[in-house]
Amino acid sequence: MMEDPFKSVRDQVRSELDMSASINNSELMARIEEMVWRRRELMELTAAEKRRLVRRVFDSFRGLDVLQPLVDNPRITEIMINSHQDIFIEQDGEVKKLPLQFESQSRLEDIIQSIVGTVNRVVNESTPIVDARLKDGSRVNIVLPPIALKGPTMTIRKFPESPMTMEDLVRRGALTEEAAEQLRILVKGKYNIFIGGGTGSGKTTFLNALSQYIPPDERVITIEDSAELKIVTVPNLVSLETRNANTEGRGEIAIRDLIRSSLRMRPNRIVVGEVRGSEALDMLQAMNTGHDGSLSTGHANSTQDMISRLETMVLSGADLPISVVRQQISSAIDIFVHLSRLRDRSRRVTEISEVIGMSDGEVVLNPLYRFRETGESGGRVIGSLEPCGNPLQSADKLHMAGITAWPLQKMMEVTS
């Protein structure tokens, strides 16, 4: 048998087929199958091995080459390419290196250019860092040399094909059914909710699940760097995505540009995938100017840290007194939800707090739920999200939304 069947068949495809012509995927797959099954030197391969060879050759032309099976595997949540010879994955919460590699660095570079080209992004030596996405919505981060010292690197964060619901998160132990019900009521009552957490804590997944509670008769505008949210319950939905500057340094459209534009699109709610910089001020002002029920996320290690980071973000784009910034935060955001990735790699809601105003120049929180760890079994953290015993202090929005059912009396008694 030939030394490398993959390269041999791929070279035959290149020589016999005009890949620039309008040959569709089905035709290409059929031609590759025909080549593989007819070649005598491949007769020693089993039928399963031939099918894998056909798929690999096809993926090298129309897919993501060696990455395609990884992208197609629902158990894999993260793919980390440190160089063309160095590929890691996260599968079932465990990170491991794979015995896979691209045939060359130039092949990896071709795949990278194909990915960024489909979403009208540019990545090169002058713009060596870019965020993009795959056709299935998976998040992609790319860093090129000279920033990446070992060669092009790419990290792919995958998301489930069907968006995870809050019920799914409850079943996985991320939060309790009671807390999920409280959040459902708060979303229906148009409370502005901000989700914080560290890298890989599940903020986007949680935001997507929380968004499913938005009433279907509302108009929602989503704003993201790379479109990832899949809000399937709201028909009147507009999804906006940022754009990088072109090679001449023109045409950039940032998050804050999209937030400002969205205010003229008659939204009932605005959902900002993540705030990282000066756009935080625009988001807070939108929440403060009649767009109640808006949602967003940010990176932080705790709720207090999230407040501090929001202050820093606002100040990075506006010369305002810190007291004014804190007043903006306290009046715009009603609820903070904090997510953590615990040492057993599970993702949990670890805090839900209400913002109740200012005291001595600081934003004051009213803790509603906190995660309490009770032990460890078989390497898994045991614990649950427990109510703190504090009533919700501001129920005006609930009353305005006509919510007076049992949850209001049972777990959200209003202090006079």
pLDDT grade, residue 12 (50/70/90)? confident
pLDDT at position 416 over 60: no
pLDDT grade, residue 372 (50/70/90)? very high
275: domain CATH number is 3.40.50.300
Same domain, 8 and 109: no
Mean residue pLDDT across the chain:
89
pLDDT at position 408 over 60: no
Cα 22 from Cα 287, distance rounded (Å) = 49
Same domain, 73 and 135: yes
Structural domain count of the chain: 3
Looking at residue 409, its pLDDT comes to 44
What mean pLDDT comes out for the span 298-316?
97
290 within a domain of the structure (yes/no): yes
pLDDT grade, residue 79 (50/70/90)? very high
Cα 347 from Cα 349, distance rounded (Å) = 7
Same domain, 172 and 306: yes
What mean pLDDT comes out for the span 142-147?
96
274 within a domain of the structure (yes/no): yes
Q: Three-state SS for 264?
A: coil
Same domain, 106 and 207: no
Last residue of a domain, one of 62, 78, 103: 62
Please list, in sequence order, all residues whose beta carbon lies within 8 angstroms of the beta carbon of residue 303, skipping any fewer than 6 positions away. 196, 336, 338, 351, 353, 365
Last residue of a domain, one of 62, 86, 112: 62
Domain that holds residue 29: 1-62
pLDDT at position 401 over 90: no
Same domain, 119 and 178: no
110: domain CATH number is 3.30.450.370
Looking at residue 381, its pLDDT comes to 93
Same domain, 45 and 79: no
Q: What are phi and psi of 348, to 5 degrees?
A: -130, 150
Looking at residue 414, its pLDDT comes to 44
**DSSP H stretches of helix in 172-291:** 177-188, 203-211, 255-262, 279-288
415 within a domain of the structure (yes/no): no
Q: Residues, the chain, total? A: 416
Q: Could you list the beta-strand ranges (E) of 253-390.
A: 269-272, 295-299, 335-341, 347-359, 362-377, 380-387
Looking at residue 356, its pLDDT comes to 96
* Contact call for residues 328 and 280 (beta carbons, < 8 A): no
296 within a domain of the structure (yes/no): yes
Percentage, residues of the chain above pLDDT 70: 95
Looking at residue 54, its pLDDT comes to 83
Which tokens sit at 249? 């340094």
Matching residue, tokens 């949990």? 348
Task: Please write the tens of the pLDDT for every residue from 165-175.
Answer: 999 999 999 99
Task: Identify the residue with better confidence: 201 or 414.
Answer: 201
Same domain, 336 and 306: yes
Cα 313 from Cα 266, distance rounded (Å) = 26
416 within a domain of the structure (yes/no): no
Percentage, residues of the chain above pLDDT 90: 63
* Contact call for residues 159 and 176 (beta carbons, < 8 A): no
Task: Identify the residue with better confidence: 189 or 35.
Answer: 189
Same domain, 100 and 7: no
